[in-house]
Structure 1
Amino acid sequence: MSPHRIDDRAPVFVISVAAELSGMHPQTLRQYDRIGLVSPCRTAGRGRRYSARDIAQLREVQRLSQEEGINLAGIKRILALQDEVSALNEQVETVKAALQEMVARPGSRVFSADRSGRVTPLRRGERPQRSDGGALVLWRPERRR
């Protein structure tokens, strides 16, 4: 992987380039921005700047609309759910990494995970703090040698 990899969320494309890359008219992109379907970043002068991720979303909007016959309200909901799934997947990966780190440490056999995904080691018999209304307590038994 190149050390100069471009972030797919970096707002680099002006509206004319985004329109060309997505195969849409610039006015369509403006309309989608107004209704909150695909909202690009703004420059200090209020110009729109689209990212590679925005371009991919615009192409997906076009596909869902033309090939699947889904209306814009439905497409907006689909995109929101896809974003939510992506965020949840990132959170799961973070929790998995924290769990792997904790399991590798000797003596950290009991831990809790709160609703935000924060994992905290506990001593045996210790109860987790329930500041957010609940926590899941997990225990990994000692390995027999």
Structure 2
Amino acid sequence: MDADDPVFPIAAAAELAGMHPQTLRQYDRLGLVVPQRTAGRSRRYSLRDVAQLREVQRLSGEGVSLEGIRRVLDLENEVVALRDRVRRLEQALANELLNRPGNRVFASSAQGDVVPLRQGVRAQRRTELVVWRPQE
């Protein structure tokens, strides 16, 4: 099971988070923790949603406003997305190094993809990052 799989109905998520289901509905309306919806429009929470609900409860107990909590959650979600992107780019680079041992020059496209360059070819755009390894 993935941490983002929407498996918990509102009652189970509320119990796991130690909150009342009405509190979860309120947080959904405010956009703090927005669960996925089934075809029948009922809420389904993931493990990540439950963790965020616990974080909301902790921050609220420390006196952080709901707007402050929203900002903290947005930043945490952005960090998770960026870490995932870095991991995927590192995997792509490692795969390129393994699959093309003779091609050791790469550039980053505008979309962030790793693009191998032929030996002696320069990146077309000055905004692209070029990574190389001297030949042994």
Question: How does the TM-score come out when normalised to structure 1?
Answer: 0.85
Q: Which has the higher helix share?
A: 2
Question: What one-letter code is carried by the residue in structure 2 that aligns with 1:142?
Answer: Q
Identity %: 60
Corresponding residue to 1:47 among 26, 33, 42: 42
Distance (whole Å) between structure 1 residues aligned to residue 45 and residue 53 of structure 2: 10
Corresponding residue to 1:8 among 3, 8, 26: 3
Unaligned runs of 5+ in 2: none
Residues 85-128 of structure 1 deviation map (CA, whole Å, 9 limit, x = unaligned): 11111111111112222223222111101343200100133233
Match of 2:96 in 1: 102
- The 5-angstrom pairing of residues 41-120 of structure 1 reads 41-66=36-61, 68-104=62-98, 105-120=100-115
How far residue 26 of structure 1 moved from its aligned partner, in angstroms, is 1.1
Question: What one-letter code is carried by the residue in structure 2 that aligns with 1:135?
Answer: E
How far residue 135 of structure 1 moved from its aligned partner, in angstroms, is 1.4
Distance (whole Å) between structure 1 residues aligned to residue 105 and residue 120 of structure 2: 9
Distance 1:106 1:8, change over 3 A: closer
Distance (whole Å) between structure 1 residues aligned to residue 10 and residue 129 of structure 2: 47
Question: What one-letter code is carried by the residue in structure 1 that aligns with 2:34?
Answer: S
Unaligned runs of 5+ in 1: 1-5
The answer (yes or no) to whether the contact 2:103–2:119 under 8 Å persists in 1 is no
Distance 1:79 1:115, change over 3 A: farther
Distance (whole Å) between structure 1 residues aligned to residue 11 and residue 124 of structure 2: 53
Match of 2:132 in 1: 139
Give aligned pairs, total: 135
Question: How does the TM-score come out when normalised to structure 2?
Answer: 0.90
Distance 1:136 1:21, change over 3 A: same
Distance (whole Å) between structure 2 residues aligned to residue 115 and residue 82 of structure 1: 25
How far residue 82 of structure 1 moved from its aligned partner, in angstroms, is 0.8
Cα RMSD (Å) of the superposition? Answer: 1.6
Distance (whole Å) between structure 2 residues aligned to residue 116 and residue 78 of structure 1: 27
